[in-house]
Amino acid sequence: MPTYSALTTLMGEDAAEALGAAIEKLDPAPVGVGVFEIEDDSGLWEVGAYFTEKPNEVMLEVLALAFEAKPFALSELPEIDWVAHVRRELAPVEAGRFFVYGSHDADKVPADKIALQIEATVAFGTGHHGTTLGCLRAFDRLVEAGFAPAKVADIGCGTAVLALAAAAVLPDALIIASDIDRVAVDVAEANVAINGLDGRLECLEAAGFAHPRLAEAAPYDLVFANILKGPLIELAPPMAAHVARNGLVILSGLLVVQAEAVTAAYLEAGFRLKAREDLGEWSALVMERL
């Protein structure tokens, strides 16, 4: 069965969300619609839709004009076994002592590594993306230097790969993983079970620190936040309120060109920059609470 994609860009979140809602009402209806911010500080948003029948090109042109979007780029996608394709492309990842892999690569786990099984078909954070890899590498270096936090939070946890890494090397630590998306929380809980770490960490649905359990467990010695530039900046004051003095935060989800703005927000909130690593176009920051 052929699949068609229709993609466009336009200015502003509200307009993009409204366009996405309008596309959902088309006939034939799309099987999926996505609205994403383009993280380059341009203010542009991308709206994409996928169809199993060829979409009405005239109606797409009308919608583009009505919402002041660029003309839709319409493509017919080749018939591909995407699960098999993803599995081929996502080879296991090594980040210091950690080895992140999918079940299809279980026979490749080295005996001298801490193995974390994360499936590529679930929420964000398989270890392959530069942001997740940067966080894992930063955490590995801290552990190597003797850092042993007693309380850890993973805010915006996705698959919970970062919280799982902490649970694997910090047997006595209290660890909480949270995400604003209920599906991500379900995925996180599944990954806890897959990795045999039941009872080692809690998974919560929450926006930022807005959950009684997160407030109760504070202050934290280590917080992971692998999200996006905007939410990271908004989190700076709450982060300062929930992190212990001399505690650390590992931040990512930001482009190299955005690292200075995020750093500045955390400096203003009472942190200092302890380390930074750029992996390709992505940055990972380690900030210390003063």
| Other CB atoms within 10 A of residue 119 CB | 20
CA dihedral in degrees (47, 50, 56, 57; nearest 10)? 50
CA distance linking residue 182 with residue 204, whole number of Å = 9
Q: Evaluate whether 224 touches 286 at the Cβ level (below 8 Å).
A: no
What is the per-residue pLDDT for 89?
47
Which pLDDT does position 183 carry in this prediction? 82
Structure tokens at 147: 């850092």
Under 8 Å between Cβ of 246 and 219: no
Q: What are the tokens at 35? A: 């609205």
Determine the pLDDT at residue 131: 79
Q: Is the pTM of this model over 0.95?
A: no
CB of 238 within 8 A of CB of 269?
Answer: no
Q: How far apart are CA 83 and CA 2, in angstroms?
A: 16
152 phi, psi to nearest 5 deg: -130, 140
53: Cβ contacts below 8 Å, ≥ 6 apart? 4, 28
Q: How many CB atoms lie within 10 A of CB 215?
A: 13
**Cα separation, 168 vs 3, whole angstroms:** 41
Q: Are 226 and 252 in contact (CB under 8 A)?
A: yes
Q: What is the CA radius of gyration of the chain?
A: 21
Q: What local confidence, expressed as pLDDT, does residue 178 receive? A: 96
Residue 259 has what pLDDT? 94
Consecutive 10-residue averages of pLDDT for the chain (290 residues): 86 93 91 81 88 92 95 80 50 85 80 84 50 91 97 94 96 95 87 93 94 96 92 95 98 91 97 94 94
pLDDT at position 122, please?
A: 44
